[in-house]
Each structure stands twice: as C-alpha cells, then as structure tokens.
Amino acid sequence: MNSRFLVSLLGLAALTLLTPPARAVPVEMNFEADLKVTSSYLWRGIVNEEVCAQPALIIRANEEYSLTTWGTWDLTDDETDSAEHTRMDVILDYAPTKDIHMGNFGVVAYIYRDTSAGRAQDTFEVYAGYTLDVVTLPSLRAYYDFSEIEGFYGTFSLAHSFELMKSRLWLDVKTSLGAADEAYNEAKFSYPANSDEKEFIPEGAGLVDSTTTVSLPIQINEQFMVAPSATYMTLLDSDIRDAADEFDEETDGFAGALTAIAYF
C-alpha cells in the first residue's frame, strides 16, 4: 500500500480524534515542539554514528490522544547509510489512564528518505503498551510491523525521575531491554555475502538490545526546557554481534545529546 496514502489516512484519523464533536464537549489542546541534536542515532540495536538533528511536533487532546511527527536527519556529508537512517515518523497514540494503570495504543508510519541507495522501505506498525505508575515505572510495549516486515519487536523498561531542584531540575534514568521475533531480526540484522564473508541471516527470536539513558531536564520557564542526555546501547544476541563484527558493523553505541523543548 502506498505509504503517502497511509500517512494521509493517519492524518484524517487524527483530525477526527482531535476535532471536538458537535455537542458541547470541552477539548483541551496543547502543543510541544522539540529539537534534539545527537552525536549518534541509536535505535533497536542499530547504530548510526553520524551527528543527527531530530525535530518533533506533538499535538495532544485531553491528554489521552496525541499526534506526533518526528524526524531524524544526518548532519554530515557521509551518504553511505544516510538513506536508511534518515526518516520521518508519524504516530497516532491513545493513552488511557486509570489510577496507577496507564495504557498506550497506536499506529506508526516510518517514512524513509527516497533514494535508490537505501535498503530501508517505508513501513507501518501498530503497538500496545502497559505501564504501572509506581516508583520504577515498569513498562511493557509490543510493536507489530504489518507492512514490510510482518514481525514483532517488544520492550521492557524501568525508569525513575529524581527531583534535584524543586520544579527546576531533575535527573531522569531509563533502562530497557528489546526483543524481537525471527521475522524482525531477519529484516534488520541480515547481511548479504561479500568478498570476505558469507551471507548471515539470523535464526529464531530472542533478546536484541539493551539501552540506558540518563538525562538532566532543566526547566527554564513555564514554556521552555532543555535536556542534556547520554545514551548507551549494546547488542545482546551473540550471533548477531558476531556477524556484525565480521561485517564491520557497530555492536555498541554511545550518544550525547541536547534537546530543546517548547510548550505552547
């Protein structure tokens, strides 16, 4: 199915959800604009060691519904893997909450840079998640790619925020484990044969990556925040790690980043 057509459908669905009904029901809207510059882009076990800019715009309605557009672009002249790592995401999310129980349900469109050099194809996922609102915020989330991959990727994460200065400065820590089924691993971690190495295709499901992020959000005023952060990610699957090493792909990554956030 044409990716632009599906993105249009997402936009139409978002307008339907975010537009007040004919009867008088109050709808509270708020907006968030982010700009992140990061030394590397780390995502689901994949490392892009190029400096990237990652802007985002988030529209929320009544805190439960949101429409997010997010992008990542290389800021270097290296075109080797740029097409695979440069993309835009469109996310439509529904996040119901009851007491300490928080859910997340949504759909994501991944739109990659158009170029004949890129292996990554536009694709789409649906997801469902559950978070328990306690000290460590344990969270489970499962994604299913129903377009190009037809496979699952899931995460389990823990997080906590330490308030260092009242309403001004925090220390946020988050760590997560990612796992995938065979179809997802094959799509993301297969390597074609070259003059030195045989073709590698992962077999079976299993843990994929571990990611830990430490950030320091600083509230400048009611409408503006900045957040320096550091992230470390490593591949966990031993077969994928060995193959990545043989094909000169990165198996571990570190990223320092600075994010500016505006609320309006």
> Has residue 202 got a pLDDT over 60?
yes
Decide if 25 is inside a domain.
no
| Residue span of the structural domain in which 139 resides | 3-18+30-263
In this structure, the strands spanning 252-263 and 97-98 are: unpaired
> Has residue 82 got a pLDDT over 70?
no
Query: What region, left, alpha or beta, does residue 219 occupy, with left being phi > 0 and alpha being psi -120 to 50 degrees?
Result: beta
pLDDT tens by residue, 156-185? 999 999 999 999 999 999 999 999 999 999
Torsion over CA: 148, 117, 85, 108 (sign) = negative
pLDDT score at 140: 98
Mean pLDDT over residues 204-224, rounded? 96
Mean pLDDT over residues 64-91, rounded? 82
pLDDT tens by residue, 29-43? 999 999 999 999 999
pLDDT score at 27: 80
pLDDT score at 75: 86
- For the chain, the domain total comes to 1
Decide if 157 is inside a domain.
yes
- Tell me if 227 sits within 8 A of 215, measured CB to CB: yes
Decide if 23 is inside a domain.
no
More confident: 257 or 8: 257
HSE at residue 102, side-chain half, CA atoms within 13 A, is 14
Quickly tell me which residue has 């097409």 as its tokens: 83
Task: Give dist(CA 228, CA 203) in Å, integer.
Answer: 38
> Has residue 22 got a pLDDT over 90?
no
Q: How confident is the model at residue 9 (pLDDT cuts 50, 70, 90)?
A: low
pLDDT score at 8: 56
Q: 90, exposed or middle or buried, with CB in 10 Å at 0-12, 13-18, 19+?
A: buried
Closest C-alpha among 255, 243, 180 to residue 212: 255
Decide if 101 is inside a domain.
yes
> Has residue 7 got a pLDDT over 80?
no
Q: How confident is the model at residue 10 (pLDDT cuts 50, 70, 90)?
A: low
| CATH number of the domain within which 79 lies | 2.40.160.40
How close are the terminal C-alpha atoms of the chain, in Å? 36
Decide if 249 is inside a domain.
yes
Decide if 167 is inside a domain.
yes
Question: What is the distance, to the nearest Å, from the Cα of residue 1 to the centroid of all Cα atoms in its chain?
Answer: 23
pTM over 0.85: yes
Decide if 247 is inside a domain.
yes
Least confidently predicted of 43-57, 75-89, 123-137, 196-210? 75-89
Decide if 24 is inside a domain.
no
